[in-house]
Amino acid sequence: MYEAEEAQWWYAGQRAIATALLDPALGGARAPGPRRLLDAGCGTGYNLLALARLGRPVGIDLSPEALAFCRERGVPALRASLLALPFAEATFDAVTSFDVIYHAWVSDDRAAVAEMARVLRPGGVLLVRVPALRALRGAHDVAVQSRHRYTRGELRALLGGCGLGVERITYCNSLLFPLLLARRTLDRLLGRQGSDVGFLPAPLEWGFKRALLAEASLVRAGLSFPVGASVVALARKR
């Protein structure tokens, strides 16, 4: 992850889609002083560098290895559980959670979302991305300890049940969905093992990244996709 998340097609493309949702949401009224941002489940920390242009970010993660990479990157992060965030209520203007609440280490996704909502100020925004659709479950899910793949309706209900108003929700990694579905089906038939994280040959990296950047442009223009390998939602604390 540390080697891939800065430039690899999936990470770069998904970051562009997240930015397309987050930038407009943070463009209006804001609290006095610099925005405070939390990346809940920050992994090896590159998203904290990306979020720094929007305010003052801090990350939390359970993995000591991930936090060691955050220190190497020079980004602020501490060890904590998503189920017990070490912050007071209404601390942050925005909270992000990129592919975290689906994980086996998060035993209760509703409690995790409620905890992220707790540390949001009124009017603050939560951006959540999770893997989508059980049909895509495969060796990668086993390797990264996936507990669940979500539908758009499940994620909307989860956020709404925690007192958050969903403003945007869409599937993403949609233009490549037929290829991904074929790949996961073939993996199951062949018994393939291991994670998908890694670099592809340069022409594929370029083409796949362009597909996700095109999706980001369409999402920024207000389009939502009906199917995809991930689902991402932007919600606001009432």
Estimate to the nearest angstrom the gap between the alpha carbon of 72 and the chain centroid. Answer: 22
Domain spans in the chain, listed from the N-terminal domain onward: 9-237
> How confident is the model at residue 30, as a pLDDT?
52
CB burial of residue 191 (10 Å; 0-12, 13-18, 19+): exposed
**What is the rounded distance in angstroms from the CA atom of residue 35 to the CA atom of residue 121?**
11
- What amino acid is encoded at 156 in this protein? R
User: Do the Cβ atoms of 76 and 93 come closer than 8 Å?
Assistant: no
Q: What pTM, to 2 d.p., does this model score?
A: 0.92
DSSP string, 153-217: HHHHHHHHTTTEEEEEEEEES-TTHHHHHHHHHHHHHHT--S---SPPPHHHHHHHHHHHHHHHH
Low-confidence ranges of the chain (pLDDT < 70): 28-33
Q: Which residues, in sequence order, are bridge partners of residue 60?
A: 40, 78
> Using CA atoms, how far apart are residues 176 and 229, in angstroms rounded to an integer?
8
Select 9-237's CATH number: 3.30.830.10, 3.40.50.150, 3.30.70.270, 3.30.930.10.
Answer: 3.40.50.150
β-pairing verdict for 77-79 and 56-61: parallel
Give the pLDDT confidence score for residue 186 in this predicted structure. Answer: 84
